[in-house]
Amino acid sequence: MKPLIIGNWKMHKTVPEARDFVCRLKEMLPTLTDREVVIAPPFTALLAVAGMTVGTSIKVSAQNLHWEEKGAFTGEVSAAMVADCGCEYVIVGHSERRTLFGETDETVNRKVRTAIANGLKPVICVGETLAARESDATFTVIATQVKEGLKGIAFDGISRAVLAYEPVWAIGTGKTATPGQAQEVHRFIREGIEKAYTKDIADGLPILYGGSVHPGNIDSLMAERDVDGVLVGGASLEAESFARIILFE
């Protein structure tokens, strides 16, 4: 499969800043056919970024959505609205959504179902806290989050999904899992998908690593067999550093 590189801007960049970033990134990138690049701007910049990436190899993702199609949910955005902005992907269950905004495995699953039903590709985030890792509960936490996040997702739905392993202790901290640690968890996830579905599905399911990814560690992370791409946070905010990550060796 093609490596998948996603830049999650989180709550950064106004529309003019987003436009400037995309202009500079396009100047730095050749036409890419061997890897897929996705940018996840804030909701306010989705339309602007989507318009500027038409005809390029850059795709657009939303950072979140609501599981209901419409209704009295002030401040929320539906899957149809996200798709209408030109998004192909949507990030679901990011650790910041879980820890800061109370998302649970149940609500993550509802969002995954809604995303797939609306033709979007959900990037389903899973990951353990430092306390869980230090108590040797990493695999238990990951297995539960993957199982619950994909509950009720049939074979045709799983083919649209992306999983992202983002150890909570490595997000925005400057710490990162070693390539070996990332590979260990990615292999565990893939083996679980094979048991739940089939080997072909497991082999074709992109599993990304997220957690303080930067130009200095991208090459070693991507050298691991089961690391199919990365979900980049802070290092995706500067066009130069994000371009270096995209053009990993």
Domain 4-246: CATH superfamily, name plus number: Aldolase class I (3.20.20.70)
Q: How far apart are CA 138 and CA 185, in angstroms?
A: 8
Please determine, for residue 11, whether its predicted confidence score (pLDDT) is greater than 80.
yes
Task: Specify the pLDDT at position 226.
Answer: 98
Residues labelled as active-site residues = 94, 166
Helix (H, G, I), strand (E, B) or coil at 161: coil
Provide the percentage of residues in the chain whose pLDDT is more than 90.
91
Answer whether 166's CB lies under 8 Å from 95's CB. Answer: yes
**Mean of the pLDDT values across residues 26-32?**
90
Q: pLDDT tens, 111-122?
A: 999 999 999 999
Work out whether the CA dihedral 60, 160, 245, 63 comes out positive or negative: positive
**Mean of the pLDDT values across residues 65-91?**
98
The DSSP output letter for 247 is T
> DSSP string spanning 82-148?
HHHTT-SEEEES-HHHHHHH---HHHHHHHHHHHHHTT-EEEEEE---HHHHHTT-HHHHHHHHHHH
Q: How far apart are CA 129 and CA 145, in angstroms?
A: 13
Task: Specify the pLDDT at position 16.
Answer: 98
Q: How far apart are CA 168 and CA 176, in angstroms?
A: 10
Q: Which pTM value belongs to this model?
A: 0.96
Q: pLDDT tens, 189-214?
A: 999 999 999 999 999 999 999 988 99
What pLDDT band is residue 30 in, cutting at 50, 70 and 90?
Answer: confident
89-92 and 162-165 strand pairing: unpaired
**Choice between 169 and 80, residue whose per-residue pLDDT is larger:** 80
Task: Specify the pLDDT at position 31.
Answer: 85
What pLDDT band is residue 220 in, cutting at 50, 70 and 90?
Answer: very high
Task: Specify the pLDDT at position 174.
Answer: 74
Tokens of 203: 């082999």
Region for residue 101 given its phi and psi (left: phi exceeds 0; alpha: psi -120 to 50; beta: otherwise): alpha
Task: Specify the pLDDT at position 119.
Answer: 97
Answer whether 127's CB lies under 8 Å from 231's CB. Answer: no
Q: pLDDT tens, 42-69?
A: 999 999 999 999 999 999 999 999 999 9
What is each CA distance from 194 to 3, 16, 161, 188, 246, in whole angstroms?
Answer: 20, 44, 14, 10, 28
Q: How far apart are CA 82 and CA 190, in angstroms?
A: 29
Helix (H, G, I), strand (E, B) or coil at 40: strand
Please determine, for residue 230, whether its predicted confidence score (pLDDT) is greater than 80.
yes
Domain boundaries, the chain: 4-246
Task: Specify the pLDDT at position 140.
Answer: 97
Q: pLDDT tens, 146-193?
A: 999 999 999 999 999 999 999 998 877 777 789 999 999 999 999 999
Average pLDDT of every residue of the chain: 96
Task: Specify the pLDDT at position 236.
Answer: 98
